[in-house]
């Protein structure tokens, strides 16, 4: 290979910038040219591709979001769109690609590389931590820290006013953020997509808190919880349980932003470095991942097919005991 391109796609996640920086600088160090593709697969189709040098990635390690921007690109789902995209890669003499994103991004990468001669490596970047092949995805740690900080603040006001707060956090299919943030912030209850908690059970937990003279309660509701979101849960609880003044907070997109944590910075560096080293070794159609503090590669098809349950048993068990 002579020239590597890097892009970010799908939802942005803190840690993407450290990863871009690592891809660019490792690539240059190993003697390759490096290009950045703007706005994910859309930039590939629009030929929005810029050459990168070491200075292009100066001072971005600490920035949230992604300097390459990101997008959801419908045209890339079609054969014609990918043809156009590949022609633009050829025009730019690009023969290898690192794509940072989630499941959809990996699917696009799998399609493109099965149709054309191109070396590709995927890097898991999503705050949800819901990808197979890596214990952690880029952005998850920062997002969890952001949620914990927000809940700590909510606790201050909840305690002062004797309030019950329902806090909705991101995670459509995975309760990873909810579970960790709930344990770290001492939430009274955590509603997860992976675990059914009935409204009756939730009320019993809240009544336990009242019996222990708790002055406030915080219930974390994962976006994908089957009860239908924080407003819905709050409404149903309020019909029967009225001990506290009840409030709902949807944390929303603030969970995506912010300076990456030390963990996400190092993970971004490791994964970007490993992705380029993998390309150098002739690897393709693989995703990079962290397994037990070791960087590993997984076949992209296996990564797309595989599913793993990422909520640790001990965390699940303690979540109902420690609060």
Contacts 24+ apart (CB under 8 A), 23-30: 23/98, 23/272, 23/275, 23/276, 24/52, 24/53, 24/54, 24/56, 24/57, 25/54, 25/57, 26/272, 26/273, 26/276, 26/277, 27/276, 28/53, 28/54, 30/276, 30/280
**Smallest distance, ligand ATP to C-beta of residue 237, A:** 30
| Structural contact between residues 45 and 81, judged by C-beta atoms closer than 8 angstroms | yes
Neighbours of 161 (CB within 10 A): 13
111 binds ligand ATP (CB under 6 A): yes
| Structural contact between residues 226 and 172, judged by C-beta atoms closer than 8 angstroms | no
Give the interface segment with ligand ATP, choosing from 53-61, 73-81, 267-275, 291-299 (CB under 6 A).
73-81
Q: Could you say which of 46, 75, 117, 128 is catalytic?
A: 128
64 binds ligand ATP (CB under 6 A): no
| Structural contact between residues 10 and 99, judged by C-beta atoms closer than 8 angstroms | no
Answer yes or no: is 307 a known binding residue: no
Answer yes or no: is 215 a known binding residue: yes
224 binds ligand ATP (CB under 6 A): no
Closest to 52 measured CA to CA, from 29, 70, 71: 29
What is the residue-wise DSSP string for 205-231? HHHHHHHTT-S-EEEEEETT-TT--HH
197 binds ligand ATP (CB under 6 A): no
Q: Which of 52, 73, 98, 237 binds ligand ATP (CB under 6 A)?
A: 73
CA 71 from centroid of its chain's CA atoms: 15
Answer yes or no: is 102 a known binding residue: yes
CA distances from 168 to 26, 174, 230 (A): 39, 13, 5
**Smallest distance, ligand ATP to C-beta of residue 317, A:** 28
**Smallest distance, ligand ATP to C-beta of residue 238, A:** 33
Answer yes or no: is 11 a known binding residue: yes
Nearer to ligand ATP, 102 or 272 (CB): 102
Give the interface segment with ligand ATP, choosing from 8-16, 60-68, 227-235, 270-278 (CB under 6 A).
8-16
Neighbours of 298 (CB within 10 A): 20
| Structural contact between residues 258 and 264, judged by C-beta atoms closer than 8 angstroms | no
**Smallest distance, ligand ATP to C-beta of residue 168, A:** 18
245 is catalytic: no
Nearer to ligand ATP, 137 or 319 (CB): 137
State which of positions 129-168 bind ligand ATP (CB under 6 A). Answer: none
Q: Give the x/- contact pattern for ligand ATP in 260-279, rule: CB under 6 A.
A: --------------------
Tracing tokens 């993970």 back to the chain, one arrives at 267
Give the interface segment with ligand ATP, choosing from 7-15, 30-38, 198-206, 209-217 (CB under 6 A).
7-15
**Where is the binding site for substrate, in residues?**
126-128, 163, 170-172, 223, 247, 253-256
Catalytic residue numbers read 128
Binding site for ligand ATP (CB under 6 A): 9-11, 41, 72-73, 76-77, 101-105, 107-108, 111, 126
């Amino acid at each position: 290979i002579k020239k590597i391109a890097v892009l970010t796609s799908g939802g942005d996640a803190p840690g993407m910038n450290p990863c871009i920086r690592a891809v660019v600088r490792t690539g240059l160090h190993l003697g390759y040219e490096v290009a950045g593709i703007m706005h994910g697969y859309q930039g590939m189709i629009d030929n929005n591709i810029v050459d990168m040098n070491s200075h292009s990635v100066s001072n971005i390690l600490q920035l949230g979001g992604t300097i390459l921007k990101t997008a959801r690109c419908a045209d890339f789902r079609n054969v014609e769109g990918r043809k156009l995209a590949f022609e633009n890669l050829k025009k730019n003499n690009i023969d290898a690609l690192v794509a940072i994103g989630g499941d959809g991004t990996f699917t696009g990468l799998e399609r493109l590389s099965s149709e054309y001669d191109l070396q590709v490596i995927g890097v898991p970047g999503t705050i949800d931590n819901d990808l197979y092949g890596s214990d952690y995805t880029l952005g998850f740690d920062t997002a969890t820290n952001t949620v914990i900080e927000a809940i700590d603040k909510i606790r201050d006001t909840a305690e002062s006013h004797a309030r019950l707060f329902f806090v909705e956090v991101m995670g459509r299919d995975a309760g990873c953020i909810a579970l960790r943030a709930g344990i770290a912030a001492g939430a009274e209850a955590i509603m997860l997509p992976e675990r059914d908690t009935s409204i009756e059970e939730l009320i019993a937990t809240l009544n336990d808190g009242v019996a222990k003279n708790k002055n406030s309660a915080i219930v974390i509701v994962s976006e994908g919880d089957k009860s239908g979101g924080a407003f819905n849960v709050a409404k149903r609880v309020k019909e029967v349980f009225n001990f506290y003044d009840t409030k709902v907070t949807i944390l929303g997109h603030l969970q995506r932003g912010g300076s990456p944590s030390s963990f996400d910075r190092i993970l971004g560096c490791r994964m970007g470095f490993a992705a380029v080293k993998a390309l150098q070794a002739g690897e393709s159609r693989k995703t990079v991942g962290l397994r037990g503090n070791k960087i590993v590669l997984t076949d992209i098809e296996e990564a797309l097919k595989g599913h793993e349950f990422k909520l640790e048993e001990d965390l699940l068990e303690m979540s109902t005991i420690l609060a």
